[in-house]
Amino acid sequence: MSDSPLSETATEAVEALLDEVTAEPQPQPLLQAENLSGKVAIVSGGSRGIGRAVALELARCGTHVAFCYLDVGDESRREAEEVASELRQMAVRVFFRSCDVRESSEVGSFVAETDEELGGIDVLVNNAGIGRDSPMWRMADHDWEAVIRTNLDGAFYFTRAVAPFMRAQEYGKIVNITSVYGIRTEFGISNYSSSKAGLIGLTRSSAVELGPKNINVNAVAPGYVRTTRLTEGVSPEILDRARERSALGRLGDPRDVAGVVLFLCSEAARHITGAVITVDGGYVL
C-alpha cells in the first residue's frame, strides 16, 4: 500500500506544504480583531501567566495596554518591566504600575491614571487572582479574606470604576477570568471556589446592568493552565490526574485562554453577553 502512486502523491503534497512553512519572528495573533486597533485595555494581574498572554494578544491587535501587578519584591517588578518592554515592541502605548486590587481607592486611582495616560478605556480584563488552599476547618480568616478580596472584590472594584467611562461612550468589553472551580469544586478550595462562583454571578449581574449601554460582559473559565502562579504549587500528581481527566489529554496554555478573551473583546462576539466559556480541554465533561 505504501508504494502506491496515490501514497507517493500524498507524500509529495505533504512535503511541498512543509517546504512552504517559514519561521515567524514572533507569534501571530490568535484572532485578527481589527476593531481593537487603537482601543485602550486594562488587564489586572498582567505581568505573568494568563494576564501577560492576554496583554500581549491585545497589543498584537494594536490595542494600547494598561496593566497592574502586585509589588511583592524585585522579581515582581522585573517581570512587570519585561512585559512592558514586550508590549512596547509592538508599537502600542503602555501604562503599568503596582496596584493592590483589594483596595478600592488604589483601583480607582489606577483607572483614572489609565484614562489620563492612554486617553480612554474600552476593554477591561479582570484577571488578578490568588489561591490559598486548605480544608475549611483549618482555613484561617486571612486566607479566606485574601482570596475573596482579590478574586471577587478586585473584579467588582475595577468594573465599578470603568463603568462610567464605558457608559458615557456607550461601548465597552469586560471579560472576567473565573475558573472551572467556579462551576464545580474539589476538596480544600472553598475560598477559591466561592470567589470564582461569585465572579460568575458578578459577570451576569454586570451584563444585565451595563448591557443597555452597549457593554458586553462575559467570563472565561480556565481549567488547569501551565506556567501560571496558581499551578506552581500544585503537585505533579494532581497535574497528571488533570491531564488524564481532560478529554484532550493535555493541560492548557495561557494563550489558549488569551485567544478566547480576544474573541470576546472582538466584534465577532458583539451579541454575546453574560456568558461563561470554559477553556479546560474537556476537564469538566
69 catalytic residue (yes or no)? no
Catalytic residue among 157, 181, 192, 283: 192
The average confidence (pLDDT) of the chain is 89
Residue indicated by cell numbers 511583592: 72
> Which three-class secondary structure state does DSSP give residue 34?
helix
Percent of the chain beyond pLDDT 70? 86
* Average pLDDT for 207-219: 98
**pLDDT tens-digit readout, 67-76:** 999 999 999 9
Class of the domain covering 39-279: alpha beta
pLDDT of residue 254 exceeding 70, the answer is: yes
What is the pLDDT, as a whole number, of residue 232?
A: 64
Residue indicated by cell numbers 458615557: 168
- Burial readout 230-247 (b: 16 or more C-beta within 10 A, e: otherwise): bbeeeeeeeeeebbebbe
What is the pLDDT, as a whole number, of residue 9?
A: 57
